[in-house]
Amino acid sequence: MTEPFTVAIDGPAAAGKGTVSRAVAAHFGFAHLDTGLLYRAVGAQVLQGTNAIDAAHALMPEALEDPSLRTAAVAQAASKVAVIPQVRAALVDFQRAFARRAGGAVLDGRDIGTVVVPQAEAQLFVTASAEVRAKRRWTELKERGEDADFEQVLEDVRIRDARDTERATAPLRPSERAYILDTSHMSIDAAVAAAIAQVEAKRSGLR
Ligand code: C5P
Protein backbone atom coordinates (compact mmCIF):
# COMPACT_ATOMS: atom_id res chain seq x y z
CA MET A 1 0.00 0.00 0.00
CA THR A 2 1.47 3.33 -0.99
CA GLU A 3 -1.49 5.60 -0.19
CA PRO A 4 -1.45 7.37 3.18
CA PHE A 5 -3.47 5.52 5.82
CA THR A 6 -3.44 6.98 9.32
CA VAL A 7 -4.29 5.15 12.51
CA ALA A 8 -4.91 7.61 15.38
CA ILE A 9 -4.63 6.06 18.84
CA ASP A 10 -5.46 8.38 21.73
CA GLY A 11 -6.02 7.84 25.43
CA PRO A 12 -4.80 8.64 28.93
CA ALA A 13 -1.41 7.78 30.44
CA ALA A 14 -0.64 4.08 30.96
CA ALA A 15 -3.79 2.77 29.24
CA GLY A 16 -1.78 0.45 26.97
CA LYS A 17 -1.68 2.80 23.95
CA GLY A 18 2.03 2.24 23.40
CA THR A 19 1.80 -1.55 23.33
CA VAL A 20 -1.34 -1.51 21.16
CA SER A 21 0.19 1.04 18.77
CA ARG A 22 3.46 -0.85 18.31
CA ALA A 23 1.55 -4.10 17.72
CA VAL A 24 -0.82 -2.49 15.17
CA ALA A 25 2.14 -0.88 13.35
CA ALA A 26 4.06 -4.18 13.25
CA HIS A 27 0.99 -6.13 12.07
CA PHE A 28 0.25 -3.82 9.13
CA GLY A 29 3.85 -2.79 8.39
CA PHE A 30 3.08 0.88 9.20
CA ALA A 31 5.50 3.43 10.66
CA HIS A 32 4.85 4.37 14.30
CA LEU A 33 5.21 7.69 16.14
CA ASP A 34 4.77 7.95 19.90
CA THR A 35 3.81 11.63 20.00
CA GLY A 36 4.17 11.76 23.80
CA LEU A 37 7.92 11.65 23.16
CA LEU A 38 7.74 15.05 21.44
CA TYR A 39 6.19 16.62 24.54
CA ARG A 40 8.60 14.68 26.78
CA ALA A 41 11.60 15.96 24.78
CA VAL A 42 10.36 19.55 25.22
CA GLY A 43 9.64 18.90 28.93
CA ALA A 44 13.17 17.52 29.40
CA GLN A 45 14.64 20.67 27.83
CA VAL A 46 12.58 22.84 30.16
CA LEU A 47 13.94 20.91 33.16
CA GLN A 48 17.41 21.90 31.83
CA GLY A 49 16.40 25.57 31.78
CA THR A 50 15.34 26.09 28.12
CA ASN A 51 12.21 28.06 27.26
CA ALA A 52 9.40 25.64 26.27
CA ILE A 53 8.38 27.38 23.03
CA ASP A 54 12.01 27.74 21.88
CA ALA A 55 12.61 24.04 22.68
CA ALA A 56 9.54 23.00 20.65
CA HIS A 57 10.69 25.02 17.61
CA ALA A 58 14.23 23.63 17.79
CA LEU A 59 13.24 19.98 18.37
CA MET A 60 15.24 17.42 16.34
CA PRO A 61 13.96 13.87 15.73
CA GLU A 62 17.18 12.47 17.30
CA ALA A 63 16.10 13.95 20.66
CA LEU A 64 13.29 11.36 20.76
CA GLU A 65 15.78 8.52 21.20
CA ASP A 66 16.95 9.65 24.65
CA PRO A 67 16.03 6.92 27.23
CA SER A 68 15.82 9.50 30.05
CA LEU A 69 12.58 10.79 28.47
CA ARG A 70 10.80 7.86 30.20
CA THR A 71 11.16 9.12 33.77
CA ALA A 72 8.22 10.24 35.94
CA ALA A 73 9.73 13.74 36.33
CA VAL A 74 9.91 14.19 32.55
CA ALA A 75 6.31 12.88 32.20
CA GLN A 76 5.04 15.58 34.55
CA ALA A 77 7.14 18.26 32.79
CA ALA A 78 5.71 17.04 29.45
CA SER A 79 2.12 17.48 30.62
CA LYS A 80 2.98 21.01 31.80
CA VAL A 81 4.48 22.14 28.48
CA ALA A 82 1.59 20.40 26.66
CA VAL A 83 -0.88 23.05 27.93
CA ILE A 84 1.00 25.81 26.05
CA PRO A 85 -0.75 26.46 22.69
CA GLN A 86 2.47 27.67 20.97
CA VAL A 87 4.23 24.45 21.96
CA ARG A 88 1.40 22.34 20.50
CA ALA A 89 1.33 24.42 17.31
CA ALA A 90 5.10 24.01 16.85
CA LEU A 91 4.80 20.21 17.06
CA VAL A 92 1.77 19.75 14.82
CA ASP A 93 3.43 20.00 11.37
CA PHE A 94 5.94 17.26 12.16
CA GLN A 95 3.11 14.97 13.31
CA ARG A 96 0.94 15.70 10.25
CA ALA A 97 3.78 15.03 7.83
CA PHE A 98 4.50 11.75 9.60
CA ALA A 99 0.80 10.78 9.53
CA ARG A 100 0.38 11.26 5.78
CA ARG A 101 3.60 9.54 4.66
CA ALA A 102 3.16 6.85 2.05
CA GLY A 103 2.67 3.33 3.34
CA GLY A 104 0.62 3.97 6.47
CA ALA A 105 1.33 5.40 9.91
CA VAL A 106 0.20 4.87 13.49
CA LEU A 107 0.37 7.88 15.82
CA ASP A 108 -0.43 7.58 19.49
CA GLY A 109 -1.09 10.50 21.80
CA ARG A 110 -3.91 12.57 23.29
CA ASP A 111 -5.25 14.68 20.39
CA ILE A 112 -4.41 12.77 17.22
CA GLY A 113 -8.02 12.03 16.22
CA THR A 114 -9.41 15.33 17.51
CA VAL A 115 -6.80 17.85 16.29
CA VAL A 116 -3.70 16.51 14.56
CA VAL A 117 -5.29 14.18 11.96
CA PRO A 118 -9.10 14.35 12.25
CA GLN A 119 -9.29 12.67 8.83
CA ALA A 120 -7.40 9.60 10.14
CA GLU A 121 -8.94 6.56 8.48
CA ALA A 122 -8.93 4.50 11.71
CA GLN A 123 -9.33 6.03 15.17
CA LEU A 124 -9.15 4.34 18.54
CA PHE A 125 -9.44 5.65 22.07
CA VAL A 126 -7.63 3.26 24.40
CA THR A 127 -8.55 3.72 28.04
CA ALA A 128 -8.76 1.97 31.45
CA SER A 129 -9.66 3.01 35.00
CA ALA A 130 -7.09 5.15 36.84
CA GLU A 131 -6.53 2.32 39.38
CA VAL A 132 -5.84 -0.27 36.68
CA ARG A 133 -3.48 2.09 34.85
CA ALA A 134 -1.61 2.95 38.06
CA LYS A 135 -1.33 -0.76 38.91
CA ARG A 136 0.19 -1.48 35.48
CA ARG A 137 2.63 1.41 35.77
CA TRP A 138 3.58 0.37 39.33
CA THR A 139 4.19 -3.26 38.24
CA GLU A 140 6.36 -2.02 35.35
CA LEU A 141 8.46 0.13 37.72
CA LYS A 142 8.83 -2.77 40.19
CA GLU A 143 9.96 -5.07 37.37
CA ARG A 144 12.60 -2.50 36.45
CA GLY A 145 13.84 -2.70 40.05
CA GLU A 146 12.60 0.80 40.95
CA ASP A 147 11.27 1.46 44.43
CA ALA A 148 7.76 2.73 43.62
CA ASP A 149 4.91 3.53 46.00
CA PHE A 150 1.48 2.57 44.56
CA GLU A 151 -0.38 5.55 46.08
CA GLN A 152 2.22 7.91 44.62
CA VAL A 153 1.94 6.33 41.15
CA LEU A 154 -1.89 6.62 41.35
CA GLU A 155 -1.59 10.26 42.40
CA ASP A 156 0.77 10.95 39.44
CA VAL A 157 -1.70 9.32 37.02
CA ARG A 158 -4.58 11.41 38.43
CA ILE A 159 -2.61 14.68 38.27
CA ARG A 160 -1.63 14.03 34.65
CA ASP A 161 -5.21 12.99 33.72
CA ALA A 162 -6.56 16.22 35.19
CA ARG A 163 -3.99 18.36 33.38
CA ASP A 164 -4.59 16.53 30.07
CA THR A 165 -8.41 16.60 30.18
CA GLU A 166 -8.93 20.07 31.64
CA ARG A 167 -6.56 22.10 29.44
CA ALA A 168 -8.12 24.61 27.04
CA THR A 169 -6.10 23.61 23.95
CA ALA A 170 -6.57 20.10 22.54
CA PRO A 171 -7.87 18.47 25.75
CA LEU A 172 -7.85 14.69 25.99
CA ARG A 173 -11.19 13.30 24.79
CA PRO A 174 -12.31 10.70 22.26
CA SER A 175 -13.03 12.02 18.77
CA GLU A 176 -16.57 11.39 17.52
CA ARG A 177 -15.26 8.73 15.15
CA ALA A 178 -13.13 6.90 17.71
CA TYR A 179 -13.73 3.29 18.65
CA ILE A 180 -13.49 3.14 22.47
CA LEU A 181 -11.31 0.30 23.69
CA ASP A 182 -11.56 -0.02 27.49
CA THR A 183 -8.74 -2.35 28.51
CA SER A 184 -9.54 -2.35 32.27
CA HIS A 185 -10.60 -6.00 32.20
CA MET A 186 -8.72 -7.14 29.10
CA SER A 187 -5.42 -8.94 28.61
CA ILE A 188 -2.94 -7.12 26.43
CA ASP A 189 -3.32 -9.83 23.76
CA ALA A 190 -7.10 -9.30 23.68
CA ALA A 191 -6.66 -5.52 23.45
CA VAL A 192 -4.19 -5.88 20.57
CA ALA A 193 -6.50 -8.31 18.74
CA ALA A 194 -9.47 -5.92 19.12
CA ALA A 195 -7.42 -2.98 17.84
CA ILE A 196 -6.13 -4.93 14.82
CA ALA A 197 -9.69 -6.04 14.00
CA GLN A 198 -10.89 -2.41 14.07
CA VAL A 199 -8.10 -1.20 11.80
CA GLU A 200 -8.62 -4.13 9.43
CA ALA A 201 -12.34 -3.30 9.20
CA LYS A 202 -11.51 0.29 8.20
CA ARG A 203 -8.90 -0.86 5.70
CA SER A 204 -11.19 -3.32 4.00
CA GLY A 205 -13.92 -0.66 3.93
CA LEU A 206 -11.60 1.39 1.71
CA ARG A 207 -10.76 -1.39 -0.68
O1 C5P B 1 1.99 9.58 26.24
P2 C5P B 1 2.98 10.16 27.23
O3 C5P B 1 2.71 9.72 28.64
O4 C5P B 1 4.40 9.93 26.83
O5 C5P B 1 2.75 11.74 27.14
C6 C5P B 1 3.37 12.66 28.02
C7 C5P B 1 2.51 13.92 28.11
O8 C5P B 1 2.57 14.60 26.84
C9 C5P B 1 1.03 13.68 28.36
O10 C5P B 1 0.68 13.63 29.74
C11 C5P B 1 0.36 14.87 27.66
O12 C5P B 1 0.28 15.98 28.53
C13 C5P B 1 1.31 15.22 26.55
N14 C5P B 1 0.84 14.80 25.23
C15 C5P B 1 -0.07 15.62 24.59
N16 C5P B 1 -0.48 15.33 23.32
C17 C5P B 1 -0.04 14.23 22.70
C18 C5P B 1 0.86 13.35 23.36
C19 C5P B 1 1.27 13.66 24.65
O20 C5P B 1 -0.50 16.63 25.14
N21 C5P B 1 -0.45 13.97 21.46
Q: What is the mean pLDDT of residues 93-118?
A: 96
Q: What does the pLDDT read at residue 3?
A: 84
Nearest-atom number in ligand 1 for the CA of 116 is: 21
How much is the pTM? Answer: 0.94
Q: At CB < 8 A and 24+ separation, what contacts does 192-199 make?
A: 192/19, 192/20, 192/23, 192/24, 195/9, 195/20, 195/23, 195/24, 195/124, 195/126, 196/23, 196/24, 196/27, 198/122, 198/124, 199/7, 199/24, 199/28, 199/122, 199/124
Collect all residues with Cβ–Cβ distance below 8 Å to 48 and sequence separation of at least 6.
none
Q: What does the pLDDT read at residue 101?
A: 93
Q: What does the pLDDT read at residue 205?
A: 82
Nearest-atom number in ligand 1 for the CA of 80 is: 12
Q: What does the pLDDT read at residue 83?
A: 96
pLDDT above 70: percentage of residues in the chain = 99
**Measured in angstroms, how far is the CA atom of residue 161 from the centroid of ligand 1?**
10
Q: What is the mean pLDDT of residues 155-168?
A: 95
**Measured in angstroms, how far is the CA atom of residue 206 from the centroid of ligand 1?**
30
Nearest CA to ligand 1 atom 13: 79
The percent of the chain in helix, strand and coil, each rounded to the nearest 5, is 55, 10, 30
Nearest CA to ligand 1 atom 12: 79
Output the CATH code of domain 6-206: 3.40.50.300
Q: What does the pLDDT read at residue 206?
A: 72
Q: What does the pLDDT read at residue 207?
A: 64
With bands split at pLDDT 50, 70 and 90, how would you rate the model's confidence at 153?
A: very high
The answer to whether the beta carbons of residues 126 and 10 sit under 8 Å apart is: yes
Ligand 1 is surrounded, with C-beta below 6 A, by 13, 35-36, 39-40, 75, 78-79, 82, 109-111, 160, 164
Q: What is the mean pLDDT of residues 121-149?
A: 94
The whole-chain average pLDDT of the chain stands at: 95
State yes or no: pLDDT of 2 exceeds 90.
Answer: no
40-81 residue pLDDT tens:
999 999 999 999 999 999 999 999 999 999 988 999 999 999
**What span, in angstroms and rounded, lies between the C-alpha atoms of 13 and 30?**
23
State yes or no: pLDDT of 1 exceeds 60.
Answer: no
Q: What is the best residue among 39, 40, 47, 64 to mutate for testing ligand 1's pocket, by most ligand atoms within 8 Å of CB? A: 39
